Homo-oligomer: A and B are copies of this chain.
Amino acid sequence: MYTSSEEDYLKAILKLSRKENGPVTTGALATELHTAAPSVTDMIRRLAEKRLATYERYHGVQLTDEGLRIATALVRRHRLWEVFLTEKLGFPWDAVHEVAEQLEHVQHPDLIERLDAFLGYPRFDPHGDPIPNAQGVWPERQRQLLSTVEVGVQVVIAGVDDHSVTFLQHLDRLGINLGTRIAVLERVEYDLSLYIHLVEQNRDLMLSDKAARSLFVEPIN
């Protein structure tokens, strides 16, 4: 139906527009997609012609309802494939993005619904990111950044805001995973580092503020 390239742009526009609301700029897209700005101008003009986005010269793009529908389906596909790769094929969480980036472009009427059923209808991917359902509805979850948690409170690791391989491997080395229960022991005033306690492993460790601002946690239910 649409080319991989068009799909990549739609997904990028969705991603950026979920951060800041209002139109997405050419420059932001160029950075996100690692392309030159003129390539972006070309493509968003084409997307607008196909009624997947609205575009006004010098004022950025916005997805139409149809564009949003497609982009959301792509996020769904991407994240379901990531679940498959980690849960079924045993890939580490820092290695699934590249492959899912390719798998998400595979076109078939009910491939994804079958995959979803096979995986047991997961609501979050291996990085804790929400997986929209077949109707495009995103699951809700009350999560916050670890950096905002009060001292003394116990929480559970629920996701990462930085998906880089280096950060994910850093977490592995520290023994921090999705579902890991932690207690915030102390926030160092000087540089905002955190002393935390890993409950299951009965171990204390120190976390930089940068790391704490890249970790989502949720209350213990």
Contact = CB atoms under 8 A, between A and B. Distances in A.
A115 interface: yes
A201 interface: no
A60 to B, nearest CB: 32
* Copies of this protein chain in the complex: 2
Interface string A11-22: 000000000000
Contact of A107 (B89, B91, B102): B102
A99 B106 contact: yes
B108 A99 contact: yes
Interface residues of A, number: 16
A111 interface: yes
Contacts of A91: 114
Nearest to A98: B108
A162 B214 CA distance: 54
A98 B89 CA distance: 23
A89 B108 CA distance: 13
Contact of A89 (B89, B102, B103, B115): B115
A77 to B, nearest CB: 12
19 contacts: A88-B118, A89-B111, A89-B114, A89-B115, A89-B118, A90-B114, A90-B118, A91-B114, A98-B108, A99-B106, A99-B108, A99-B111, A102-B105, A102-B106, A102-B107, A102-B108, A103-B103, A103-B106, A106-B106
